A and B are shown apart, each in its own frame.
Chain A
Amino acid sequence: MSDLFAFQHAWLIPLLPLLGALLAGFLGARFLKRQSHWPIWLGVGASAVLSFSLLFGMLALWTKGRESSVREPAGKWTVEQANLERAAARDRGESKSVPLARSIKWFDWILAGGSDASHKSYPDNDIRSADGTVNPLRPFHVEAGAWIDPLTAVMLCVVCGIGFFITVFAAGYMKGESGYFRFFAYLGLFLFSMTILVMGNNFVMLYLGWEGVGLCSYLLIGYYYEKPAAREAAKKAFLVNRIGDFGFGLGIMLCFLAFGTVSYYGNGPHTGSGVLDMAMAAQLPGGQITPFQQTALKWIPFLLMIGAFGKSAQFPLYVWLPDAMEGPTPVSALIHAATMVTAGVYMIARCSTLFVQNEAALITIAFVGAFTALFAGSIALRQFDLKKVFAYSTVSQLGFMFVAVGVLAPVAGVFHLITHAFFKALLFLSCGVIMHAMSGELDMRKFSGLKRVLPKTHVLMLIGCLALAGIFPFSGFFSKDEIVGAAFHHNTLLGLVLLFTAFLTAYYTFRLYFRVFQGPEILPEAPAHASHGHGGDEHGSHNHEPWSMMLPLFVLAIGAILAGALNWPERERSLGTFLYESPSFQNGAVIADIAFTRLGGKPVDLSAFGRREADEAAMGHEPPFTPIMGISLIVALCGVWLAYRNHLKDRAAAERLARKLGGLTTLLEGKYWIDEIYENAIVEPLKKLGRAFFIIDQMVVDGVVWMISFIPQATGFALKLTTQRGYLQGYAASMLFGVLVILLLIFW
């Protein structure tokens, strides 16, 4: 496995976009100018190729491993766990495969603290002393390294693959913008951070990537920094994310405090040298765990969760994402739909070992996710800005993913992450095409019936809408239904909320589609002067669909159609069973099984972790999804039909309905006034507090400093008046006096 080219050269995946960013950033303004996209294209393209070769290499190994059924005895740290694993393998009815997960160390990044002795023996083995407690003299050791497993490979392919097509699109979209090189430099930096985020083998690497994507998001939202709205949106995104990152940072610190390391798996799974491994010990019979670690395990998931809520725009912290649409459209597609905002889902899936043993955290995640899905989905109903509709839709879909990880179905969450990345990127980029064609206008009341103006975009957008609405056989259908099914398995209320949200999704998606592409052809009369003028020559040519922009869209559309096949239900080899090769999922399944059996809860559906029973009938387990699939398809079709009735057949009907619902409409149009509530309840008091502190600073702190500085000033002034009088002899006399005093002091 280690001989695989892509494994050995995994370090190139983050490095190439970074190199591209440096080239574009430092040479762009002077030399590359209009060609600034080349370093990023090449860098990200090469990274995408490497990511896919990593994935396919892994798949080949996986297949080989399954065929030969070689079981590689992994190092076990307790006998109990080894027994348990063996029992689990017996339950599965087969022996499993070579491990597809490995840690690759690049270099030691941070090595601080601890005694000299602990430095010498640091490769994370001596974190535990003989009696099982954490060695208090442990160094803070962080290595820069990659954790390569199926989850990483899949995430890398999504990030680099979709990232590459979006950069290709962006070159066409951003043509003629001032600061063209700046845009591409930021984009490269973003992809560097995002790959670090998904590849890192410890929490600090994750945090580095986490903050890096936050920074790039800030820079790119504020790309049009002459526009006050863009500046405000960028600041808002950054500040709201700070709240989440604060919790995340505390969570990482607590991990180190309790477990003495920040590595996921240390030297490898089952060696007991990583956080996720040691956390597993909490649930295993005979596992060594201290009371402090027990307590820490209760808190760590909550703290990490706050970070995930911030980055993935969940309920209390979602407010930045709709505003982030001020950024250029490719940025909305890449960062605020496909990749960055899914980091929270990735993190929870990666740490499912920590989350699954904490029922309270799971319930919180699931309910916050469901609430966010419903909440944002309902706001999207009365938005008229195309990008805003999709922004709220993204928040809502992220809610779906959170429900998935919250109801012990991380595979469904990651699956939805992938399909969503495809179709939402497609939808956003199509919005970008419309925006160009309409000279920057995005209000769907101002235009209609564009299917003859933008025929290709029309088809592509229809594919995206079908996928988002969850119509069979488009990708969104499969992933969404897996989540809905898992939610029903866990909690009927959650399932009903998600089903209703799926209805809303279908409705608002097709409301947009019918309004924009169908019906009488209306174009905005006086083309509003584009806030970001694209090349003037483009206006005359009437070619709103250049190939450089359309080609990436076609690829994404193919993904939006076919990605559903990745996890085709009841297939022996699917995304789920592949992801199950990742220790994150495997351990998650084992722990969920133990924890929930101990609590006497409902049996955990282990197939949601990717475990496929060899003989499902014998296990008495049947996939619970089939009836749900039909129901949710009907629900989605209802939504589409309602949208057709209200927004195509009789457009006045929508307004009549809105008037009939009076208060509710106002509530939705006001977006529940969450922004206003935050403004008045948090921002204004904070500003007042800040002003009060400013006054205190001016009067008290500065006053004291001023007073203290007054003492030497006054003394100096007095001395000057009394002693510095210009008599040479006077100076000589005082010098003499001084010498005498010194002599006296020395010789007394």
Chain B
Amino acid sequence: METLALQHYLAVGAILFGIGLIGFMCRRNLIVMFLCTELMFQGVAINLVAFGHFWGNFSGQAFTIFVLVIAAAEASLALGLVVLLFRQKNTLDADAWRELKG
């Protein structure tokens, strides 16, 4: 079995990103859409770590830690918003909030 090359990591990252993207585009449920964005984040994070590893420096990992921290902070906010939105309309359908278009 050959050793893991950069391409393998990139492929995993791309797959994660693609799943997230497709999920975000296709699902109506706010929580699922949110999860999909997290998936995309992780895809990108894997890319960063992989690049950092193969370039022989730690920038990628440092970036990833930043991304994770910010994603965690953002997750708490977003989930709180989703809860509030749910309380308003008793549904998690994103299209229920079309009137916000202004």
* Residue ranges of A at the interface with B (Cβ–Cβ < 8 Å): 724-729, 732-733, 736
Contact = CB atoms under 8 A, between A and B. Distances in A.
Given A725-B101, A726-B99, 4 more contacts: A724-B101, A724-B102, A728-B94, A729-B94
Contacts of A729: 24-26, 28, 94
Nearest to A733: B25
A727 to B, nearest CB: 6
A519 to B, nearest CB: 87
Nearest to A729: B25
23 contacts: A724-B102, A725-B101, A726-B95, A726-B97, A726-B98, A726-B99, A726-B100, A726-B101, A727-B94, A727-B95, A727-B98, A728-B33, A728-B94, A728-B95, A728-B97, A729-B24, A729-B25, A729-B26, A729-B94, A732-B24, A732-B25, A733-B25, A736-B21
A637 B7 CA distance: 119
Q: Is the interface of A mostly helix, strand, loop or mixed?
A: helix
A233 to B, nearest CB: 58
Interface of B: 21, 24-26, 28, 33, 94-95, 97-102
Nearest to A727: B95
Contacts of B25: 729, 732-733, 736
A736 B40 CA distance: 13
Nearest to B21: A736
From B24, B97, B99, residue with most partner A Cβ within 10 Å? B24
A740 to B, nearest CB: 11
Contacts of B98: 725-727
A727 B94 CA distance: 8
Contacts of B28: 729
Contacts of B95: 726-728
Nearest to B97: A726
A727 B97 CA distance: 8
A724 B101 CA distance: 7
A719 to B, nearest CB: 13
A725 B24 CA distance: 18
A729 B29 CA distance: 11
A736 B36 CA distance: 15
Contacts of A724: 101-102
Contacts of B33: 728
A747 B79 CA distance: 38
Nearest to B33: A728
Contacts of B26: 729
From A726, A732, A736, residue with most partner B Cβ within 10 Å? A726
Give the 4 A-B residue pairs with the shortest CB-CB distance, closest first. A726-B98, A726-B101, A728-B94, A724-B101
A346 to B, nearest CB: 70
Nearest to B30: A728
A587 B99 CA distance: 88
A736 B24 CA distance: 11
A738 to B, nearest CB: 14
Contacts of B102: 724
A729 B98 CA distance: 11
Contacts of A733: 25
A736 B26 CA distance: 13
From A724, A727, A728, residue with most partner B Cβ within 10 Å? A728
B89 to A, nearest CB: 14
Nearest to B28: A729
A732 B33 CA distance: 11
Nearest to A723: B101
B32 to A, nearest CB: 12
B91 to A, nearest CB: 14
